[in-house]
Amino acid sequence: MSDEQRNTVLRFAVIFIVIALGFVAVLAKIVYVQTVEREEWMKVAERQVPSHRSIPATRGNILDCNGQLLASSMPQYYMYMDTRVEALHQNGGKLFYEYIDELAADLARVAGDRTAAEYKARITQAYNKKERRLRVCDRRINYLERRELEKNSLISKGKYKSGILFEDQHRRIKPFGVLASRTIGGIYGEGGYGNSGLEKRFDPELRGKDGLSSIQRIGGRNESVTVKEAEDGMDVITTIDANLQDIVENTLLAKVEERHAKWGCCMLMETRTGYIRAIANLDRAGDDKYYELQNHAVQRVEPGSTFKTIALVAALDDGKIDIDDTVSITSKPWVYMRKSTHTDAHKMDTVLTVKSALAVSSNIALAKLITRSYEGSARKFVQRIEKMGLCDSLYCEIPGAERARIDVPNDTVTLSKMSYGYSVELSPMQIMMFYNAIANNGRMVRPMLVTEVRDEGEPVKSYRTETVRSSICSEQTLKDIRSALHDVVWDNRLGTAAHTLSWAYKAQSNLVPIAGKTGTAQLIIPGRGYSGSHHRMTFVGYFPEENPQYTCICMIEDPKWPYDAGMDCGSTVRIIAEKTMAYTGCYVYKEGEKKLEKR
């Protein structure tokens, strides 16, 4: 072997040995780290795990039928300062001391929760301590205030020189204030789950999906890196018309304040579609002011005389009675089966037709008619009502909506009470749904509060009018009952919602023809039973009578004496009807003269 070959082999041998030793050293180091230094390095690894933060999704909007915001998440910001940034400490803190006075003055002017001197002292103290995350302002600032502060000489240099950053927060607001606030609902905290109303029912759609970011060390700085983008919530489009809601709520408020009632509930529904255009619930609080505290619209109560229409429809359609049949009533109480006493608010000794009995709202007449028709067969009475769809378990967008309770009575005495609205329970929404069917030529539709769910303006879910029953009764029964409901408002001799001294007192309007029914129910006082001095008043009607466009119900709990369903609730529906028709373009409402004129 030549010298040159030996040198070549020697060089390769040296290189191989060096590589082999290096490989052995690496293996040894790995073994050493995995055994001796394992715990120490695991602790270091834990410290190097990126800090993950949730990126909250923006909650979707709730809008009225015209696109006006009923509930929305508006951006607000917490303002923080990292006083450790290098630029603030260069050249003896020249940048910081040059602009601190201007920054403090702008903060005092825009945020306003401290004086300029207090801001300067607070920030300077944090600067000397090199605080990493100083909350500059205690309160959140809105978007316009942020834009104003961003004009400041120091803040405008950016976060890497000023140390100032704005952290997004979203606050749920209702631009129309208390309007329909109980129906719209609320949420837990600022970014929590919906806890009532539409906010709760459509929480999965509104809430969206949070994203994820991590704080990582990049280029010597802590940077927030988005790992997963947030998916903002979808929008819910309601049937509510904010302008009609304003009419209904203010009209109801004026009445419950005047009557010093415990609570009031009022709804306006579009006859053909079932769209609820307005829904108001007002409770008297401890300060004697009214607020939206409960959704009485979906809570069942004893309906009182509004149930008489339901009872008569059942008896008429079963062929048990005819609209022109007669029944005698007296000014004295009528005792049925020696167990149950029935009295009338409008006392008279006369003979009434079935039609007139409904107009004057005679308890005695209804008790006689229904017991005469269904004595010994009360189950058939309840089954006939069930066929109308009132007892169906209907979907409702408002959480907590209660199903109607119309049980088969164990005895005929209970049946006699059921005939005029006791021993049964319906919610105001269910009562309105039934009367709307009468207005809608017998077709019962489900009351609706939501028409669409949209994602970035595109429909994701659509809800159409749902027919509960194509017809609740025969055409003849419908014709007869509509004639009787007309007399409730327009028979000036007997009608409980007709005028007495002046047309303005009850439901009779000289501009908008209304038909409907009054209802009065005694309230149960705990430990005392039914009270003759505490009542629940109702009027439910539709308008214009010949071609109904809307159905409206007003229910007022425990108004002060003297109370009258026609004057308390009938007049409320009348005012709403007149203003509604003016709003929809049929009439012109003159505010100064408080009257309507045909367009």
What is the 3 state secondary structure string of 199-250?
HHHCHHHHHCECEEEEEEEECCEEEEEEEECCECCCEEEECCCHHHHHHHHH
Spatial separation of the C-alpha atoms in residues 38 and 268, rounded to whole Å: 73
The C-alpha angle with vertex 364 and arms to 358 and 369, in degrees rounded to 5, equals: 70
CB atoms within 10 A of CB 423: 17
For residue 35, what are the β-bridge partners? none
Q: Is 420 exposed, middle or buried (0-12, 13-18, 19+ CB in 10 A)?
A: buried
Name every residue whose Cβ is closer than 8 Å to that of residue 477 and which is 6 or more positions away in sequence: 313, 316, 317
Task: Please state which CATH number belongs to domain 242-598.
Answer: 3.40.710.10
For residue 538, what are the β-bridge partners? 519, 555
Spatial separation of the C-alpha atoms in residues 280 and 577, rounded to whole Å: 15
Strands 529-543 and 334-336: unpaired
- pLDDT at residue 503 in the model: 46
Joined tokens for residue 374: 């269904």
- pLDDT at residue 449 in the model: 96
Average pLDDT along the chain, 599 residues, taken 10 residues at a time: 70 78 79 76 60 76 93 85 90 90 92 90 91 88 88 90 84 79 81 84 89 65 69 93 95 96 97 97 95 93 97 96 95 88 90 96 96 93 94 86 91 92 96 98 97 93 95 96 97 88 73 95 88 93 95 97 92 96 74 56
Q: Are 584 and 512 spatial neighbours (Cβ–Cβ below 8 Å)?
A: no
Look at residues 166, 163, 123 and name the one whose alpha carbon lies nearest to residue 145: 166
What is the layout of strands, in order, in the sheet containing 550-557? Answer: 290-291, 276-284, 263-270, 550-557, 529-543, 515-525
Spatial separation of the C-alpha atoms in residues 70 and 58, rounded to whole Å: 16
- pLDDT at residue 238 in the model: 97
**Domain residue ranges of the chain, discontinuous segments joined by +:** 3-49, 53-238, 242-598
Spatial separation of the C-alpha atoms in residues 69 and 476, rounded to whole Å: 45
CB atoms within 10 A of CB 300: 19
Look at residues 22, 24, 46 and name the one whose alpha carbon lies nearest to residue 38: 46
- pLDDT at residue 410 in the model: 85
- pLDDT at residue 554 in the model: 98
Domains 53-238 and 242-598 share a fold: no
- CATH fold, domain 53-238, is Penicillin-binding protein 2a (Domain 2) (3.90.1310)
Q: Are 553 and 432 spatial neighbours (Cβ–Cβ below 8 Å)?
A: yes
Spatial separation of the C-alpha atoms in residues 511 and 491, rounded to whole Å: 17
